[in-house]
Amino acid sequence: MKKKITIKDIANELGIHHATVSRALRNDSRISQSTKDKIVSYAKSKGYKLNQSAVNLRNTHSNEIAVIVPNISHYTFANFVSVITDLAARNNFIVSMFQTRENYEYEKDAVKTIMQNRVAGVIASLSLTTTDTDHFKDLIDFGIPVVFFDRVPLDIKAPKVTTDNYKAAYGCVNLLINKGFKKIAHLTGPLHISVFNERNKGYQNALKDHVVEYANNVVIPKEFEISDGFDAIQKLWKEDEKPDAVLCDSFTLSAGVNMFCRNQNIIVPDNLGIIAIANDPFSALLEPAQTIMSQPINEMAKIAFDLLIQCTKSEIIDVTKSIQPELIIRKSV
- Selected from 213, 238, 241, 285, the binder of its own copies by CB under 8 A is 285
Residues 195 and 212: their CA atoms lie apart, in Å, by 23
What is the pattern of x (binds its own copies, CB under 8 A) and - over residues 242-281? -------------x--xx--x------------------x
Binding positions for DNA, 54-83, rule CB under 7 A: 54-55, 57-60
Q: Min. distance of Cβ 227 from its own copies in angstroms? A: 11
Q: Which is nearer to DNA, 60 or 265 (CB)?
A: 60
Residues 242 and 260: their CA atoms lie apart, in Å, by 14
Interface stretch with its own copies, choices 9-17, 88-96, 147-155, 202-210 (CB under 8 A): 88-96
CA separation, residue 47 to residues 39, 41, 52, 147 (Å) = 12, 10, 15, 38
CA separation, residue 126 to residues 105, 196, 210 (Å) = 12, 13, 33
Q: Which does 314 bind (CB under 5 to 8 A by kind): its own copies, DNA, none?
A: none
Residues in CB range of 169: below 8 A, 6 or more apart? 186, 198, 199, 200, 201, 202, 203, 206, 247, 277, 293
Size of the site for DNA (CB under 7 A): 30
Size of the site for its own copies (CB under 8 A): 58
DSSP-derived letter for residue 200 is H
Query: Is residue 6 within the footprint of DNA (CB under 7 A)?
Result: yes
**Structural contact between residues 191 and 218, judged by C-beta atoms closer than 8 angstroms:** no
Half-sphere exposure of 290 (CA within 13 A, CB side): 30
Q: Min. distance of Cβ 92 from DNA in angstroms? A: 12
Query: Is residue 317 within the footprint of its own copies (CB under 8 A)?
Result: no
Q: Min. distance of Cβ 29 from its own copies in angstroms? A: 23
